[in-house]
Amino acid sequence: MRVSYGLVGTTRGHAVRALAIGQELIERGHEVLFFTDGDAEELLKARFGEDRVCATETPKYYFTKGKISIRKTLGKNLKFLLRRKKLAQPIIERLKSWKPDVTIADYDPFMWHVSKVLKIPHVALNSQEFLNSSPLPKGIKLSDRIQAKFGGKLLRRLSPTADLRVVGKIMFEKHPWSKAEFVGAIIRQEFDKYTWTPQGTHCLVYSSIIPDKTLAEINKLAKRENRRAMVFGIAQEKVEQHDWLDYQPTSETGFIEAMCNADFVISGAGNQLLAETLHLGIPVLITPIPNQFEQTITAKMQVIAKPDQFVMFHADAEIPTPNKDVDKSLTAGRSRAVDLIEQLVN
């Protein structure tokens, strides 16, 4: 089976999900060709080689004063929907000779159109589908609910129809009427053998954006706990302004090692990282990206479902003590997702 896999290039979660699914597909004897840009392009090339990754422009978040600008993000990304056919044409020409059997889209605007032109099945695989297919937890403010409704509709415009919708999300239930397949978190096979072994030396910090005020509070907490904070995802010049924060370059293996040996994690509410920490049983202080309604909802859900492991971050927050009995079925989505894709094609 040949798989054409398109994914958004910004934020770590989409890339990590593609690493997990791509590895599983390849080890089962399938061929995968990825289409992405940014951080995802770098990580996928490092894992699978340059010949398996094609550079293409993908949607991005845009920020104003340390917060996501909804107006700017929507305005600049609207072109991907309005010009989808034209922008997808180079991909289609590339794939006509490669002849894929199925397309996968993770917040990608092109693979749906590719599947229509090439007349092959299409899979929408992401975590954001919960905006359409899950009841939201209580306590979510009205403005976030409105944005979630709108965000769900926008997500569906990326893949208006799909032969299969796979949702890799933890702690969320499915509406009875939804036809989406909820498989649990989709994490990399490396985590089948990794364990959490805190060293008493550091904590791990990750987010694609952390406001300056929050970085200062993280520095204060790291000093209080006497743990160096290894910071991934934030610009070096911002990190080096604080005496207890240590900048870390992008590295798949370096990130995993730092996380497995950390005493605790401070992170945004990205689905993939929270799933990895859930799988390993690592305590997490969650600091959602400002103005990111999806992260606000996800953070709320994790804190409600697992208060012994997930708490909201603030400078005086206490580090939680997780229950050592981890339910691994919540993070077994990798194999389940590939099983469904194989069943669809076969």
Q: Is the pLDDT of residue 10 over 90?
A: no
What's the number of CA atoms in the CB half-sphere (13 Å) around residue 203?
A: 24
CB-CB contact of 88 with 103 (8 Å): no
CATH topology of domain 2-188+331-345: Rossmann fold (3.40.50)
Nearest to 278 by CA among 166, 149, 183, 169: 169
Predicted local distance difference test score (pLDDT) of residue 165: 97
Same fold, 2-188+331-345 and 191-327: yes
Mean pLDDT of 119-124: 98
Maximum separation of any 2 CA atoms in the chain, in Å: 59
What value does the mean pLDDT of the chain take? 89
Q: Domain boundaries in the chain?
A: 2-188+331-345, 191-327
Q: How many CB atoms lie within 10 A of CB 39?
A: 17
Q: Which residue has the tokens 């909802």?
A: 297
269 C-beta neighbours (distance < 10 Å), count: 25
> Is the pLDDT score of 30 beyond 70?
yes
Q: What is the model's pLDDT at position 64? A: 66
3-state secondary structure of 283: coil
Q: Residue 323 pLDDT more than 80?
A: no
191-327 classified as CATH 2.60.40.10: no
What's the pLDDT score for residue 320? 94
Q: If pLDDT is split at 50, 70 and 90, which confidence band does 26 have?
A: very high
Q: What is the pLDDT of residue 63?
A: 63
Which of these ranges, 21-25, 167-171, 202-206, 238-242, has the smallest mean pLDDT? Answer: 167-171
Query: Which span out of 54-68, 165-179, 274-288, 325-339 was modeled with the highest average pLDDT?
Result: 274-288
